[in-house]
Structure 1
Amino acid sequence: MFLSAYHFDGDPTTLVPAYDRMQEGFPPDMFDLHACVVTGSGITVYDGCPSRADFERFAVSPEFRSGVAAAGLPQPRIQPLGEVHYAVAGKTVLR
């Protein structure tokens, strides 16, 4: 699994509802690893894709870009992070 960070800069009180609108367009079971974190400069979304190649396709896809725009989010600063070595979410362990 390849992890990346999508940094959306701006007022979190505006960005969080826009993020929620964007998420309404995706089924929850679509995500293997996904988290939205409120930061001092906006929000950062951590997202895991099955592979780096999948991430590279998704990050530039028209579907992603149009979903971001339709929700009212600014285009993010995208940071590829790397391969996930170990992750725990609740009682689920991902390796």
Structure 2
Amino acid sequence: MFLSAYHFDGDPAVLIPAYETLMSGFPPDAAQLHVCVVTDSGITVYDACPSRAVFEEFSREFPAMVVAVGLPAPRITPLGDVHNAITAVSR
């Protein structure tokens, strides 16, 4: 898995509904690892793709998806290959 971060600057109260609209367009089982974090400056989404090649392909398609739901253009940070991931889901 290849992890990247998508930083969206702005008011989280505005960004979260647009992010949720974006995510509703993906099948529930599409993400292997996906985390949305509210920050002081907006939201940051950590997302894992199966490989760096898949990340690069997705990154070419992603800007149009973002604009379509009203999110600002993100700052995208490729982070690297995931060595280990431990998750516990609670809501």
Q: TM-score range by the shorter chain?
A: over 0.9
Q: Indicate whether 1:5 and 2:11 are aligned.
A: no
What residue identity is the alignment partner of 1:75? Answer: A
TM-superposed CA distance for 1:66, in Å, is 2.0
TM-superposed CA distance for 1:65, in Å, is 1.9
Unmatched segments (≥5 aa) in structure 1? none
Unmatched segments (≥5 aa) in structure 2? none
What residue identity is the alignment partner of 2:9? Answer: D
- Secondary structure of the corresponding residue to residue 26 of structure 1: coil
Matched with 1:80 is 78
In 1, distance between residues paired with 2:88 and 2:40?
26
Query: Of Structure 1 and Structure 2, which has the larger fraction of its residues in strand?
Result: 1
How many equivalent pairs are there? 89
In 2, distance between residues paired with 1:68 and 1:42?
15
Hey, which bits of structure 1, 4+ residues long, moved more than 4 A? none
In 2, distance between residues paired with 1:85 and 1:25?
29
For each residue in 1:33-85, what CA deviation from the matched residue of structure 2 results, as whole angstroms up to 9, or x when unmatched?
00100000000000000011110110112xx2222111110010000001101
Matched with 2:88 is 90
- Secondary structure of the corresponding residue to residue 60 of structure 1: helix
RMSD: 1.1
Matched with 1:51 is 51
In 2, distance between residues paired with 1:23 and 1:81?
21
What's the TM-score, normalizing by structure 1? 0.89
